[in-house]
Amino acid sequence: MRRLFLLALLFFTLSVKSQTLTPRQQYPDLFEAVQLSNIFPDNKTFVDAVPRQDPALIMKAYHDQKDKPGFDLKAFVLANFDIPVSHNAFQTDIEAGIRKHIDTLWQVLQRRPDEAKANSSTLALPNPYIVPGGRFREIYYWDSYFTMLGLQESHQIKVIHNMVENFAYLIDKYGFIPNGNRSYYLTRSQPPFFAMMVNLLAKNEGQQVLTQFRPQLIKEYNYWMLGSAQLKINSKSHRAVRMRGGEIMNRYWDESDQPREESYVKDVDAAKETKEPLPQFYHNIRAAAASGWDFSTRWFDASGKLATIQTTDIVPVDLNCLIYNLELTIAHSYQQSGNLKLSGQYRTKAENRKKAILKYCWNRKTGWFDDYNLQLNQLSAVPTLAAEFPLEFKIATKEQARLIAEGLKNNFLKPGGLVTTLNFSGQQWDAPNGWAPLQYMAIDGLEKYNYNALAKEIATRWLRLNIRVFKQTGKLLEKYNVVDTKLTAGGGEYPLQDGFGWTNGVLLHLINRYHFDPAQESKNLPENQN
């Protein structure tokens, strides 16, 4: 009976996905022609465009016209699609201050639930939601937790609730939370922060929230653990890995072995440099996108080159900490409803994962938490800020936390906050860039082990950098150069974006947490920095 149920569930999931075609599936030949041309500098533009008529009619017109003399591809696209716009041009009154700016941005970045258009790549959501900003015109999974931290400070609990409901809706409909609510993201998820969102909401609405969203928490857990029961030692399937000692851990994975539709040219060009079989290379590129760290030398071999990307062979320490938290949250939800047996089962899963994290990810030689490389059967040689996650979830011992705090202070702390890795590679998730979510996770984790002075110092440097850039530009940015704070952040596949959901959220949270006065700080800035 259980087998029949699982088969029915699989059929339902496949049928839902088959009804949600991606732009490349809807517009074969036309898609490649547009993405490989210079019509739009950003490959995300076309995949977000909304067709003005049925895709079948557009394709018929394209095939009828494309080989005729004088055919203009750009004119054809503009005639048949509504082209999306980015919102990087949002103007603000700098003198009104950062708090006013963020309050306004919550409205600018909010999208109504009925904005999904027929045959567009947007996956419709039932409730309003906040987008990051700029070219990111849809909700993003892990971004949203850090946005919620600011919404909580703004007392916009209803918006948080709506977003959690949206993610629950996506889990129920697709079996997981996609990278974002777009059809071309239906092959991957992102760092699983849903349990943290539910716990955040529970602080405002009560512990019954854990029970309310338990079905979706379990579905997400099953998504990450798909195929784990059948795994043999030293093998992997989808997102699950069985380690050499028999432990189950997780990795990032994307089900597709094709170039990302939203970064088609970038992936096709990058593939020309790799020695990996193309399906393997694209799996690795897409898995890095699933991690949110796209891209970083964290995922490359010792050469530090994108062509050597090996994401699917890496067991990330931060991912496994997040799933540990998911297991504990499910256990807590069962405890709330009095089911001590199932609560105990999930606590055992969490305890086993904690032991595995400490066994495979703690580097005794360097005093750091690292990823584990399955191909090499050894710890990664690239130290990253992912090491802070075992502190956030209180997995680290006191001695391990002391060493992490020491390493953060001596190696990662720069004038503007924490750098993501120590490598200056040109990739956006490496030096010299710093990112709001990683600042927050480090600060919060350090405080849980009573490294309050260091946490405050990191927060202060980050806040001052955010405030100075805001005073200069009137913008809150996606990422910042924390090494040379007079320069903007660089790297990545697209220009620096402003808006910006998770920056706003973390900034407002830290301002309130440390009773920081942005107006006073702005006055104290040297005149030559204005």
Q: How far is Cα 84 from Cα 49, in angstroms, rounded to an integer?
A: 6
Q: How far is Cα 314 from Cα 300, in angstroms, rounded to an integer?
A: 10
Q: For residue 229, how many other CB atoms are within 10 A of its CB? A: 10
The three-state (H, E, C) secondary structure of 153-219, written as one string:
HCCCHHHHHHHHHHHHHHHHHHCCCCCECEHHHCCCCCCCCHHHHHHHHHHHHCCHHHHHCHHHHHH
The three-state (H, E, C) secondary structure of 49-76, written as one string:
CEECCCHHHHHHHHHHHCCCCCCCHHHH
Query: What is this structure's pTM?
Result: 0.94
Q: How far is Cα 247 from Cα 136, in angstroms, rounded to an integer?
A: 37
- Residue 15's pLDDT is 40
In degrees, rounded to 5, the angle at the alpha carbon of residue 447 between the alpha carbons of residues 335 and 211 is 20
Token pair for 120: 């567009």
Q: Could you report the per-residue pLDDT of 78-97, keeping only the tens digit for each?
A: 999 999 987 655 667 888 89
Task: Walk along the chain (530 residues) and give the pLDDT tens digit of each residue.
Answer: 444 434 444 443 444 444 589 999 999 999 999 999 989 999 999 999 999 999 999 999 999 999 999 999 999 999 999 999 876 556 678 888 999 999 999 999 999 987 778 899 999 999 999 999 888 889 999 999 999 999 999 999 999 999 999 999 999 999 999 999 999 999 999 999 999 999 999 999 999 999 999 999 999 999 999 999 999 999 999 999 999 999 999 999 999 999 999 999 999 999 999 999 999 999 999 999 999 999 999 999 999 999 999 999 999 999 999 999 999 999 999 999 999 999 999 999 999 999 999 999 999 999 999 999 999 999 999 999 999 999 999 999 999 999 999 999 999 999 999 999 999 999 999 999 999 999 999 999 999 999 999 999 999 999 999 999 999 999 999 999 999 999 988 887 778 888 899 999 999 999 999 999 988 877 776 654 43
CB-based contact 146:501 (threshold 8 Å): yes
Q: How far is Cα 85 from Cα 45, in angstroms, rounded to an integer?
A: 8
Q: Could you report the per-residue pLDDT of 246-304, keeping only the tens digit for each?
A: 999 999 999 999 999 999 999 999 999 999 999 999 999 999 999 999 999 999 999 99
Q: How far is Cα 143 from Cα 106, in angstroms, rounded to an integer?
A: 14
Nearest to 127 by CA among 168, 92, 99, 88: 168
- Residue 498's pLDDT is 84
- Residue 19's pLDDT is 56
Q: How far is Cα 343 from Cα 336, in angstroms, rounded to an integer?
A: 9
CB-based contact 389:441 (threshold 8 Å): yes
Nearest to 462 by CA among 503, 411, 416: 416
DSSP labels, 262-325:
GGHHHHHHHHTT--S-HHHHHHHHHHHHHHS--S-GGGS-TT--GGG--GGGEE-HHHHHHHHH
CB-based contact 190:290 (threshold 8 Å): yes
Q: How far is Cα 443 from Cα 458, in angstroms, rounded to an integer?
A: 7
261 in active site = no
Residue spans per domain, the chain: 24-87, 256-315, 395-530
* Chain centre distance of CA 412: 21
Q: How far is Cα 202 from Cα 210, in angstroms, rounded to an integer?
A: 7
Q: How far is Cα 501 from Cα 141, in angstroms, rounded to an integer?
A: 12
Residues 402-405: contacts with CB under 8 Å, at least 24 apart:
402/449, 403/367, 403/368, 404/367, 404/368, 404/369, 405/446, 405/449, 405/451, 405/454
Q: Do you find a cis peptide bond into 178, omega within 30 degrees of 0?
A: no
Selecting among 153, 294, 318, 370, the annotated active-site residue is 294
Q: How far is Cα 283 from Cα 296, in angstroms, rounded to an integer?
A: 16
Selecting among 262, 267, 388, 478, the annotated active-site residue is 478
What Rg value do the Cα atoms of the chain yield, rounded? 23
Q: How far is Cα 149 from Cα 506, in angstroms, rounded to an integer?
A: 6
294 in active site = yes
Q: How far is Cα 162 from Cα 176, in angstroms, rounded to an integer?
A: 17
- In total, the chain counts a number of residues equal to 530
Helix (H, G, I), strand (E, B), or coil: what is residue 140? strand
- Tell me the H-state helices in 313-363: 317-336, 340-361
DSSP labels, 87-115:
-TT----GGG-HHHHHHHHHHHTEE-TT-
Angle between helices 436-448 and 141-153 (to 10 degrees): 70
For 136, list phi and psi in degrees, rounded to 5: -95, 90
